[in-house]
Amino acid sequence: MIDIPANNNRLYLIAERKEKAHQQVGSELRKTQGGVWVIFFGDTRFCLIPRLLQYFALYASFLILNFKLVPKLFSKTGALKSALLVALLLTILFLTLGTINTYLKSYLFLRHTTDGEAYGVIFTSSFFHTAWLAFLFGFYTLIKYASIYLCSNIDEIESKYKIVTRNGIAAFVIWLVSILFLLVADAETGPFAIWLVTIPFAICLYWYSCYDLIPASMKDKKAWSSYYVKVLILVLLSAIPLFLIIKGITERSSIVFMVLIFHVPFQLIVTTPLSWYLYRQQQRKQQEIADLKSALGQSNANYDFLRSQINPHFLFNALNTIYGTALQEKAERTSLGVERLGDMMRFMLQENMQEKIPLSREIEYLINYIELQKLRTDASPYIRINSQIDEPVSSGEIAPMLLIPFVENAFKHGISLREPSHIITRLQFKRDTLYFDVTNSIHQRTDIDPEKYNNSVGLSNVRQRLQLLYAGRYELQIRESPAEFFVHLTIHLKQT
């Protein structure tokens, strides 16, 4: 028997219970055969209720913190009050765990000469345990709100930081969650260090590969080999700073060696080919989406363009122009107007639906349109129309009806029969580059003019078609002053 002071009945009962348990354990262990060990717990009723109280205290604290106090910390009002309540709750949790541990760890009273020493050890342990739980909950809260923010703003983050991808963000969130599980499970130092270092480096390597390494390597004939060599050099160079960082954290050479041994092969065998595969898959999807958008956008633009151009308003204006000219001059100009109108209608009904047409046909249509409009305005001394249209230096092609919207807009908004007006059109070619300028006067329209609030779809359509057909190969500048409207368009006709 263990010698226990007679005046300490509680310790005596504990010691007696412990001695009986040791005797029963020894009896049970002696009964085992064949290397099978039986763990005997003795009288579990002595620690069952304290253990249940401990679990209840932990779970209740988590619920209060997670759903009541922490959300108010991020609000504009009540943050200070919530912070004080969090501190109070953690203090209550510390005292509760310390009190419960006096029962669960009652054996410590046998190891110390006084009750005060045992209480000190128990409550010190409970304090550090509570601090550790607070750290874990803080890390959990960080993961929770960081994940919500990243997932809610993933499109904005991708547009602002070109190097970041949604796959990498998802991997980063999963890595944070896995770190939390490793901390809760009290993982060994070696595997934890490997996971802590290798995965973030792999995510950053994936981002950098998709942003720079792979696109740069795609220009080489052996793209994969070029990319792999670059990654190999980068990974080997990164081993030096990683070694210094890990060495500064821990002095255990075995952990440093373990991390580096796992890090280098993992990046070369797993991260590198996975980054290549994900990049190629992403490029294929983006190309498919771009093709679908291009086909759909061009169909809509062509339809809207035809609808805006071939309409009764245009046809009646043209017929009225020819009719007025016929009254002034009975033959020559009328026949010329009819001929030009016929060519324009033929162009719009036949060639306009093609994807590309010869430059000469687009220029011919442009000249016909300007000359047809001159029939209406030549009689007015206040209207000045100048056009300088060069012949193309090569037999190139262009999307149909790409230039005419700017000229039509100029005649639509730049002509007044009562005020001085001007329209200047220039079309020049230098090698395979087209330069197109249109300048027109601006006049204040009356409230009864139906064109005052009529926003033509012509200019918006041509913007859309330029982006779809000549993305990266055109420059469109539009400037407007109180008296003048100016358009400059540059198109590189041949794709480099």
pLDDT digits (tens, 9 = 90+) for 235-276: 999 888 888 878 777 777 788 888 888 888 999 999 999 999
If pLDDT is split at 50, 70 and 90, which confidence band does 303 have? low
- Phi/psi region, residue 453 (left: phi>0; alpha: psi -120 to 50; beta: rest), is alpha
For residue 410, the surrounding DSSP H or E stretch is: helix 404-414
Give the Cβ contact number of residue 167 at 10 Å.
18
Tell me how many degrees the CA angle 437-443-445 measures, rounded to the nearest 5. Answer: 130
For residue 439, the surrounding DSSP H or E stretch is: strand 433-441
CA distance 29 to 20: 14
CA distance 230 to 216: 10
Longest dimension (CA), the chain: 138
**Given this model, what pLDDT does residue 57 score?**
93
Inform me whether the pLDDT recorded for 46 exceeds 60: no
**Given this model, what pLDDT does residue 319 score?**
56
Reported as a single tens digit per residue, the pLDDT across 358-406 is: 888 889 889 888 888 887 787 788 889 999 998 887 778 898 888 988 9
CA distance 296 to 6: 94
CATH number of 310-492: 3.30.565.10
**Residues written for the chain:** 496
**Given this model, what pLDDT does residue 34 score?**
36
DSSP string, 209-231: IIIIIHHHHTTSSSHHHHHHHHH
**Given this model, what pLDDT does residue 301 score?**
60
Reported as a single tens digit per residue, the pLDDT across 113-147 is: 888 999 999 999 999 999 999 999 999 999 999 88
CA distance 67 to 353: 62
- DSSP, res 417: S
For residue 479, the surrounding DSSP H or E stretch is: strand 474-480
Using DSSP bridges, classify how beta strands 421-430 and 433-441 pair: parallel, antiparallel or unpaired.
antiparallel
Per-chain mean pLDDT for the chain: 80
Compute φ and ψ for 106, nearest 5 degrees: -65, -20
Reported as a single tens digit per residue, the pLDDT across 307-334 is: 555 454 555 566 556 656 665 666 566 6
Inform me whether the pLDDT recorded for 436 exceeds 90: yes
The two structure tokens encoding residue 50: 């304290």
- State percent of the chain over pLDDT 70: 75
Tell me how many degrees the CA angle 154-284-278 measures, rounded to the nearest 5. Answer: 60
The two structure tokens encoding residue 137: 């909950």
**Given this model, what pLDDT does residue 207 score?**
92
As a whole number, mean pLDDT of residues 216-242 equals 89
If pLDDT is split at 50, 70 and 90, which confidence band does 283 have? confident
Inform me whether the pLDDT recorded for 23 exceeds 60: no
Domain-wise residue ranges, the chain: 44-152, 156-288, 310-492
Lowest mean pLDDT among 202-211, 334-343, 356-365, 474-483: 334-343
**Given this model, what pLDDT does residue 100 score?**
92
The two structure tokens encoding residue 261: 């041994």
- DSSP, res 351: G
If pLDDT is split at 50, 70 and 90, which confidence band does 230 have? very high
**Given this model, what pLDDT does residue 37 score?**
31
Give the Cβ contact number of residue 137 at 10 Å.
17
